[in-house]
């Protein structure tokens, strides 16, 4: 059964004549006749009485509302797709890690809202692995996360590297490890740590680093907020390994100190991930372009100046 067969059937039913239906369908009468005959052959019953007028048979009367419904659904679908291609989607859903949501996304969101005022933005802060899962499940359109090649290596995924940054050690101002300008990994392993909860890419990254160097990681507390990390580290001997972008305002806090680690330095990649089919939709493509331009501009500006002095000494 083809759409043009249904359209021909509706045209004849409404016009009451094969000849008059040709004007609506803009095809010849033999073409209309072949389409109706093909439909009748597929259904196994005649749809019209062949008299001076094309009158519906009993089967035709029963088939008429169904044919109308099918054609209406097709019209609704094509109108919806046309709206998508015109950038008229109702919402755009984004999942991003906390540090990106807090530091880099606000200018992107503001610009997007100006460019697409009728698209509702929905932004959720999630751990990297969880964000990639909801992207694969179709619950969000874009994920901005720490790269995990096990979850992003597939043909339909589009992965843009936004930036790569080192991981530093956060500790209280009076912590014994502040004596190092670059803290040895063996020394870090001697202290209990505040770590990210399961499902966060940073937890996996730190665990893999310690395993590669045959060091024993001592997780004391699992958290998922940067304020929580800072509050716990202030209490005493606990330390935390955090990405540099999460520590950009520590220089204003006299109770905390950040030190780089000894080589080999641990680093993370932050990427934007979406799927190829979503990039056919103009608002999603535009959002991706804004992130590439504005986030990278912020990274270049912030990393070139803000982390000097006591924080990186």
Which of the four pLDDT bands, split at 50, 70 and 90, describes residue 302? Answer: low
User: In angstroms, rounded to a whole number, what is the distance separating the alpha carbons of residues 124 and 128?
Assistant: 12
User: What are the distances in angstroms from CA 131 to CA 17, 93, 200?
Assistant: 58, 11, 9
pLDDT tier at 311 (50, 70, 90 boundaries)? very low
| 313 lies in some domain | no
Both 170 and 262 in a single domain? yes
CA distance 224 to 174: 24
31 and 61 co-located in one domain = yes
Same domain, 264 and 172: yes
pLDDT value at residue 155: 87
When divided into structural domains, the chain yields a total of 3
pLDDT given at position 84? 66
- Count CA atoms closer than 13 A to 229's CA, side-chain side: 26
Q: For residue 99, what is the domain's CATH number?
A: 3.40.190.10
| Distances in whole angstroms, Cα of residue 184 to Cα of each of 50, 113, 187, 209, 258 | 92, 46, 5, 13, 14
**Residue 48 shares a structural domain with residue 109:** no
Instruction: Measure the CA angle with vertex 164, ends 161 and 168; round to 5°.
Output: 155
Whether residues 153 and 284 fall in one domain: yes
Domain range enclosing 50: 3-85
**In 3-state terms, what secondary structure has residue 306?**
coil
Using the 8-state DSSP alphabet, how is residue 278 labeled?
A: G
pTM: predicted TM-score of the whole model, two decimal places: 0.72
Q: Would you say residue 76 lies in a domain?
A: yes
Residue 29 to residues 2, 21, 36: CA-CA distances in angstroms?
18, 8, 11
**Considering 30, 51, 85, which residue would you say is the last residue of a domain?**
85
Q: Say which CATH number the domain at 61 has.
A: 1.10.10.10
Q: How far is CA 149 from CA 8, 157, 168, 182, 225, in A?
A: 52, 11, 23, 29, 24
Instruction: Kindly state whether residues 151 and 283 are assigned to the same domain.
Output: yes
pLDDT at 306 over 70: no
Q: What is the CATH number of the domain that holds 255?
A: 3.40.190.290
Shared domain for 18 and 105, answered yes or no, is no
Q: Is 312 part of a structural domain of the chain?
A: no
């Amino acid at each position: 059964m083809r759409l043009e067969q249904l359209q021909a059937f509706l045209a004849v039913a409404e016009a009451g004549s094969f000849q008059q239906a040709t004007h609506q369908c803009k095809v010849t009468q033999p073409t209309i006749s072949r389409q109706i005959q093909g439909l009748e052959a597929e259904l196994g019953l005649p749809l019209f009485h062949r008299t001076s007028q094309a009158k519906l048979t009993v089967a035709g009367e029963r088939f008429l509302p169904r044919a109308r419904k099918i054609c209406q659904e097709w019209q609704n679908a094509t109108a919806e797709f046309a709206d998508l291609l015109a950038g008229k989607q109702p919402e755009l859903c984004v999942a991003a890690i906390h540090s990106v949501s807090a530091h880099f996304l606000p200018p992107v969101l503001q610009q997007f809202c100006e460019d697409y005022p009728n698209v509702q933005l929905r932004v959720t802060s999630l751990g990297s692995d969880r964000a990639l899962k909801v992207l694969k499940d179709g619950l969000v359109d874009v994920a901005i996360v720490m790269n995990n090649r096990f979850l992003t290596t597939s043909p339909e995924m589009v992965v843009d590297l936004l930036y790569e940054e080192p991981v530093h050690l956060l500790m209280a101002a009076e912590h014994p490890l502040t004596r190092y300008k670059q803290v040895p990994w063996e020394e870090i392993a001697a202290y209990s740590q505040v770590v990210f909860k399961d499902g966060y890419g940073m937890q996996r990254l730190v665990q893999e680093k310690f395993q590669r160097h045959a060091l024993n990681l001592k997780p004391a507390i699992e958290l998922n907020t940067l304020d929580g990390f800072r509050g716990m580290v202030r209490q005493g001997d606990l330390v935390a390994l955090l990405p540099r972008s999460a520590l950009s305002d520590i220089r204003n806090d006299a109770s905390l100190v950040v030190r780089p680690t000894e080589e080999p330095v641990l680093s993370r990649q932050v990427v934007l991930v979406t799927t190829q089919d979503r990039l056919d939709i103009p608002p999603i493509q535009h959002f991706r372009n804004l992130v590439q331009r504005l986030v990278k501009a912020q990274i270049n500006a912030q990393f070139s100046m803000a982390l000097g002095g006591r924080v990186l000494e």
